[in-house]
């Protein structure tokens, strides 16, 4: 018999023939794939449950964000609509006072009382502005500041330093420290101490 025939019969390498050379399989080895499949199925189910839970959380958060956005838009619209309500309430007594002053003037009230009434009305108006953080800029005798003042003209003066505000034509105003109107002023032109009437 040739070597190839002996190899086929299993005699050359094992000295045995037939199925006697095949090792016995453990029964647990046959159950391993089934156990792995069950474990994978459980992991998949758990992952699906967590994904569903996270999706629900995502939907709830999205709904909450939408509600917050709508509430913010509504509050912002109301803030724009009623932002001047407090300021308007402060100005109403001023208007009432002006109307009473006009009635008094029509009835022939003497000028001194009208002046007194006007002064009280102006005081009320100034108080209303201050309560709403409107501050007056009245830079008379101060150094000219281009950030808050607007020079209308210059005036030669020997009694003050150059670039001094010598006349306030119109007062300026700040709202919450932000300029809303510059003060219109006349500024001194210096550099010559000679009296104006002696200049050639």
Check pLDDT > 50 for residue 14. Answer: no
What was the pLDDT predicted at 196? 37
Question: Which residues neighbour 145 within 8 Å (Cβ) at sequence distance 6 or greater?
Answer: 139
Average pLDDT of the residues of the chain:
82
- Neighbouring C-beta atoms of residue 134, cutoff 10 Å: 15
Phi, psi (degrees; rounded to nearest 5) at 170:
-145, 130
What was the pLDDT predicted at 198? 40
What was the pLDDT predicted at 29? 53
Q: Name the nearest CA neighbour of 20 among 35, 36, 9.
A: 9
Which of 11-20, 28-37, 42-51, 119-128 bottoms out in mean pLDDT, i.e. has the lowest? 11-20
Check pLDDT > 60 for residue 68. Answer: yes
Across 20-42, average pLDDT: 66
Across 70-88, average pLDDT: 89
pLDDT for 183-194, tens place per residue? 999 999 975 544
The torsion region of residue 109 among left (phi > 0), alpha (psi -120 to 50) and beta comes to beta
- Encoding tokens for residue 1? 């018999």
What was the pLDDT predicted at 15? 45
> Would you say the pTM of this structure is higher than 0.85?
no
pLDDT for 101-155, tens place per residue? 888 888 887 888 889 999 999 999 999 999 999 999 999 999 999 999 999 999 9
User: Is CATH 2.30.22.10 correct for 134-200?
Assistant: yes
Check pLDDT > 70 for residue 30. Answer: no
Across 150-161, average pLDDT: 93
Spell out the domain ranges in the chain.
134-200
What was the pLDDT predicted at 147? 96
Higher local confidence (pLDDT), 10 or 143? 143
């Amino acid at each position: 018999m040739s070597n190839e025939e002996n190899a086929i019969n299993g005699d050359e390498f094992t000295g045995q023939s037939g199925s006697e050379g095949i090792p016995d399989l453990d029964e647990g080895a046959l159950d391993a794939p089934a156990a792995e499949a069950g474990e994978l199925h459980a992991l998949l189910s758990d992952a699906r449950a967590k994904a569903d839970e996270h999706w629900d959380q995502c939907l709830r958060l999205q709904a909450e964000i939408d509600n917050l956005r709508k509430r913010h838009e509504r509050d912002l619209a109301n803030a724009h609509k009623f932002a001047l309500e407090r300021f308007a309430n402060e100005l109403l007594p001023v208007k009432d006072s002006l109307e009473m002053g006009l009635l008094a003037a029509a009835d022939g009230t003497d000028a001194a009382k009208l002046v007194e009434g006007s002064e009280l009305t102006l005081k009320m108006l100034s108080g209303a502005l201050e309560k709403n953080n409107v501050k007056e800029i009245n830079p008379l005798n101060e150094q000219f500041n281009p950030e808050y003042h607007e020079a209308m003209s210059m005036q030669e003066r020997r009694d003050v330093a150059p670039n001094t505000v010598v006349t306030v034509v119109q007062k300026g105003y700040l709202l919450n420290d932000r300029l809303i109107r510059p003060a219109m002023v006349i500024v001194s032109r210096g550099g010559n101490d000679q009296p104006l009437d002696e200049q050639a």
